[in-house]
């Protein structure tokens, strides 16, 4: 199939852009399509126009209502022989912020770096995988691309998973292109992630004048005592693949503007990151039982459960491809925050591997041009090894 030019047409959003299968050119085109979460429109136009000439059937759909939607997603499939690999990623980005040396949407190469919001997280990896797909035309592939990974994720990857189920799309393996590398490309591969749950606590009291405390019920001492007890909890000590689970107090709020008023209620919020020895529901129940003696109400929201893809054939394919291209022996890790891999791991063995994470979400986010080409080589090798 070679390396034919891809004609990327932004439709009504702008002029026709001709880019090669060079991942740098495609990443630059994606960066120029402003896509602060939730992403819609032009960035998906660029993707669709790049994928259609490569034999992919492209399914774009918009779903959801405010405040978490609407969100646009893209599901692209290509038939072939061998094991079916899914690549998952997102083209939405966090706001640019102030202080950039140039435009955050320029997609400009300066020196050895490509600059722009999303260069690392994660338009660069999306572009690298599409360029890699050109080099393995016979491999069956699915791209699972959301516009809502950086946001609430209410209508993003979960909606794509439902779409895949309705269409009978069942990949054998999944690669998520999040920026996992720490110091140099290929030094870290994520084979799991900790789960995340946020918990809101409210202690009710009875409002009154501070000069007459016997006529009131101050909820603040009870909340402070409860939080001290929660802070002393040791959930576990970690295990071979995961660090210990931790509970963090992230907010305390009373909202009392008066100096002589005992408040009617006091509130706090917890964030728990937990390993595979815990579950989100069990943690909410545990905090609720713990809070009962303090006459507190507890509400929990589980963002995702912990998952682990145990080392084996899938992680070995990835690490072998990394060694072959870079000579780097990757560390298998479960560190860091959550990603959409927490949802995709329900479908099949899921591993994350992508660019250096040093500048993600930062001002002057940038990726090394050499790393984009190297990642494309690695992804192409992974595709071939999976389909073999």
Residue located via tokens 């660090």: 243
Binding positions for Zn(2+) are 90, 121, 150, 178, 361
How many of the other CB atoms lie within 10 Å of CB of 167? 12
Q: For residue 234, with 0-12 CB atoms within 10 Å meaning exposed, 13-18 middle and 19 or more buried, which class applies?
A: exposed
CA 27/CA 372 separation, integer angstroms: 9
DSSP state at residue 36: B
Q: Which two tokens stand for residue 141?
A: 């592939």
Do residues 87 and 143 lie in contact, with contact meaning Cβ atoms separated by under 8 Å? yes
Query: Considering just the CA atoms, what is the radius of gyration of the chain in Å?
Result: 24
How many of the other CB atoms lie within 10 Å of CB of 275? 23
Q: Which of 45, 92, 148, 305 is catalytic?
A: 92
Binding positions are 90, 121, 150, 178, 361
Q: Which of 22, 148, 149, 352 is catalytic?
A: 149
Do residues 62 and 166 lie in contact, with contact meaning Cβ atoms separated by under 8 Å? no
Residues in the chain: 388
Do residues 142 and 75 lie in contact, with contact meaning Cβ atoms separated by under 8 Å? yes
From residue 9, give the alpha-carbon distance in Å to each of 12, 49, 71.
9, 6, 21
Do residues 124 and 114 lie in contact, with contact meaning Cβ atoms separated by under 8 Å? yes
Known catalytic residue at 92: yes
Name the region of 338 (left: φ>0; alpha: ψ -120 to 50; beta: rest). Answer: beta
Do residues 322 and 378 lie in contact, with contact meaning Cβ atoms separated by under 8 Å? yes
Q: Per the omega criterion (within 30 degrees of 0), is the bond before 358 cis?
A: no
CA 371/CA 382 separation, integer angstroms: 16
Please provide the distance, in angstroms rounded to a whole number, between the alpha carbons at the two ends of the chain. Answer: 18
Q: Active-site residue numbers?
A: 92, 149
């Amino acid at each position: 199939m070679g390396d034919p030019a891809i004609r990327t047409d932004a439709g009504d959003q702008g002029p026709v852009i001709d880019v090669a299968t060079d991942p740098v050119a495609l990443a630059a085109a994606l960066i120029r399509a402003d896509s602060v979460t939730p992403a819609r429109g032009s960035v998906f136009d660029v993707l669709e126009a790049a994928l259609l000439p490569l034999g992919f059937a492209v399914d774009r759909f918009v779903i959801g209502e405010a405040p978490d939607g609407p969100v646009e997603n893209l599901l692209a499939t290509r038939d072939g022989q061998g094991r079916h690999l899914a690549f998952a990623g997102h083209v939405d980005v966090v706001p640019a912020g102030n202080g950039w040396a140039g435009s955050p949407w320029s997609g400009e190469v300066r020196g050895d770096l490509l600059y722009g919001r999303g260069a690392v997280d994660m338009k660069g990896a999306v572009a690298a995988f599409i360029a890699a797909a050109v080099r393995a035309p016979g491999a069956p592939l699915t791209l699972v691309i959301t516009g809502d990974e950086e946001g609430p994720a209410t209508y993003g990857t979960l909606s794509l998973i439902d779409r895949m189920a309705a269409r009978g799309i069942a990949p054998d393996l999944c690669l998520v292109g999040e920026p996992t590398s720490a110091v140099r490309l290929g030094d870290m591969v994520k084979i799991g992630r900790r789960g995340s749950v946020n918990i809101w606590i409210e202690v009710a009291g009875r409002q009154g004048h501070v000069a007459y405390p016997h006529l009131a019920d101050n909820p603040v001492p009870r909340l402070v005592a409860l939080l001290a007890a929660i802070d002393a909890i040791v959930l576990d000590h970690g295990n071979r693949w995961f660090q210990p689970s931790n509970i963090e107090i992230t907010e305390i709020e009373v909202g009392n503007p008066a100096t002589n008023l005992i408040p009617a209620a006091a509130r706090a919020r917890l964030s728990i990151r937990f390993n595979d020895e815990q579950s989100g529901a069990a943690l909410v129940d545990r905090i609720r039982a713990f809070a009962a003696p303090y006459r507190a109400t507890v509400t929990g929201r589980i963002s995702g459960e912990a998952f682990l893809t145990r080392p084996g054939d899938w992680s070995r394919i990835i690490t072998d491809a990394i060694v072959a291209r870079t000579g780097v022996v990757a560390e298998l890790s479960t560190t860091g925050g959550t990603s959409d891999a927490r949802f995709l791991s329900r479908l099949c063995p899921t591993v994350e591997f992508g660019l250096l994470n040093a500048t993600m979400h930062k001002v002057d986010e940038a990726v090394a041009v050499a790393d984009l080409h190297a990642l494309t080589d690695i992804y192409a090798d992974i595709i071939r090894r999976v389909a073999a």
